[in-house]
Amino acid sequence: MNKQVRQLDRVVIRFAGDSGDGMQLTGDRFTSETAQLGNDISTLPNFPAEIRAPAGTLPGVSSFQVHFADYDILTPGDSPNVLVAMNPAALKANLGDLPRGADIIVNTDEFTKRNLAKVGYQSDPVSDGTLDGYALHPVALTSMTVRALAEQAVSKKDAERAKNMFALGLLSWMYSRPYASTLRFLERKFAARPELVAANVAAFKAGWNFGETTEDFGVRYQVKPARMTPGTYRNITGNAALALGLVAAGVRSGLPLFLGAYPITPASDILHELSKHKRFGVTTMQAEDEIAAIGAALGASYGGSLGVTTTSGPGVALKGETISLAVALELPLLIVDVQRAGPSTGMPTKTEQADLNMALFGRHGEAPVAVVAPRSPSDCFFAALEAARIALTYRTPVILLSDNYVANGSEPWLLPDVDSLPDLRVDFATEPNGSDGTFLPYLRDPATLARPWAIPGTPGLEHRIGGLEKADKTGDISYDPTNHDFMVRTRAARIEGIPVPDVEVEDPDSDARVLVLGWGSTYGPIGAACRALRQRGLPVAQAHLRHLSPLPVNLGEVLRRYERVVIPEMNLGQLAHLIRARYLVDAIGYNQVRGLPFTAAELETMLEEVIKNA
């Protein structure tokens, strides 16, 4: 059958089903195939916090969205062009996000009266006209998969589980994706059970062949590779990139890397990834709780390692006392906070940017630390290196503020030239530094205000360690009021004096009156919205902060150039409050705390109103 092949420049696909339907695996494999083809990609996994919510219910819906294009893209897409709905719950949970005319592929085998009733459908939306206006494709995914595997040596239950591979095969055919890597993946994943390898491969090929032969899919699509900087790429998630950035920091510093961590969503994958890299001098310890984890990491730093701890917001709250201890000890320490929706347990698998105030101010006493925030999944690698550079050079704790959106999202990453990465080597104290031959543990480097880092056991460098206030230079316990005031101000000056790059402004024609200022994962939606406004002839400037403590020196001058400053945040205005207080700029906050990232469309609409009224 000869079918029409149509060229597209971009597509957004969302796979949705029950949390046991393998939607995350399906989306991940489709993304890997797409990355191999050379498209630019951006993904958004979305799954329930429950280990296993009741099957077929709305709380149990898991989805994976992938946006791919033949040009540079910044977000996973606002609305899907294609929805694969494995059951009525998946359809109902996601239908509101679809534009009219979108393709909907539904697994009709799951649209039973019982499953329809679970989610409040009084009648079958596949046949009652609910989906009029969409390009509906009813496919009996489950039963077709079972029939395709009738000759395979697997149970009916295992055959039904392979329906996600049937769906993957169908979508791979529709969008002309390569699939050799998926077949190799299945061989590795089920290597211990050859019958499952054969069954899943057969299901995938059955889906591909169904697309090739059925009359329901009369058009096949192609999206050409994107023009990208030459080099070697891999698809990478934010957590994986951050973990590799930490490994690189250990190698470039020549220090052992120690991770003390307690598993917590959505940071646990960093622990999993780092545990694979022992050959690079990485030691990982799964502690019994958050306090033990950071205590071990700080102890490792004291012993001459690069100490790291990973967590999310609830864990940062528990670690606060030890972070303050690290401030007093003036030792390097990396605290990775992969933010999630709170407060308390909140929505563990959803995203938010609400830990900024805690990162900046959430400790007792005057305990300033440096704060760095990556803007995208691949940027997590470089943000980790930057955080390590600051921690090692200035002997300070650094909080690395990621979030669930960048942590679990993925995009192509151009592998860097290792020799181009920063040299992070450290000079440890090796001999007394006092004029009388004694060791002064708080005698500071005049350029960085950092104190010497002496590895325990170095002859002649014995010194006191602990949380009580230290006397300047000697490090002796001190209750002297003047000394305490001096030490507090010195620790603050050390952070404020860290040189960070100037904030860069994207204002192509230098005629914008409105500046959009963001931080962290809002970079993509803000950038996509600003790009769309400029294409419509509406001037707008964009600036994005990676360093949140200290702030760039030129930020105040940049803010004063514009009549309006808009700050979109996934919180209730934490950066906006800081900007108003520090720079006396009447920043306009645009705030949502829905557990979801901003869409480019909503930011575009909001910014258009601001521009017209500026």
CB neighbour list of residue 216: distance below 8 Å, 6 or more residues apart: 137, 139
pLDDT at 614: 83
Looking at residue 3, its pLDDT comes to 83
The mean pLDDT value for 175-181 works out to 92
Neighbours of 191 (CB within 10 A): 10
- List residues bridging with 400 in a β-sheet: 336, 372
pLDDT at 374: 98
Q: Is 93 exposed, middle or buried (0-12, 13-18, 19+ CB in 10 A)?
A: buried
The whole-angstrom distance between residue 207's C-alpha and the CA centroid of its chain comes to: 32
Averaged confidence pLDDT in the chain = 96
> Which helix (H) or strand (E) element contains residue 392?
helix 379-394
* pTM attached to this predicted model: 0.95
Q: How confident is the model at residue 1 (pLDDT cuts 50, 70, 90)?
A: low
Structural contact between residues 317 and 362, judged by C-beta atoms closer than 8 angstroms: yes
Residue 53 DSSP SS3: coil
Q: pLDDT, tens digit, for every residue of 509-566?
A: 999 999 999 999 999 999 999 999 999 999 999 999 999 999 999 999 999 999 999 9
- 232 contacts 415 by C-beta, under 8 angstroms: yes
Q: Would you list the DSSP string of 131-186?
A: TTTSEEEEE-HHHHHHHHTTTSSS-HHHHHHTHHHHHHHHHHHHTT---HHHHHHH
Which pair of structure tokens corresponds to residue 228? Answer: 């990208």
**Cα 89 from chain centroid (whole Å):** 27
Average pLDDT over residues 254-274: 98
pLDDT at 2: 75
- Please tell me the distance from the alpha carbon of residue 270 to that of residue 275, in angstroms, as a whole number: 8
The mean pLDDT of 474-482, rounded to a whole number, is: 97
Q: What is the pLDDT of residue 52?
A: 78
Residue 379's closest CA among 193, 521, 496? 521
In the three-class reduction of DSSP (H, G, I as helix; E, B as strand; rest coil), residue 333 is classed as strand
DSSP 587: P
pLDDT of 561: 96
Q: What is the mean pLDDT of the segment spanning 469-489?
A: 97
Region 333-357: what's the mean pLDDT?
Answer: 97
> In this predicted structure, what is the pLDDT of residue 53?
83
Q: What is the mean pLDDT of residues 156-180?
A: 96
For residue range 116-155, list pLDDT tens digits in order: 999 999 999 999 999 999 999 999 999 999 999 999 999 9
> What digits encode the pLDDT tens for the residues 370-396?
999 999 999 999 999 999 999 999 999
Nearest to 242, CA basis, from 224, 269, 223:
269
Token digits of residue 612: 């017209």
Instruction: Supply the pLDDT for residue 13.
Output: 98
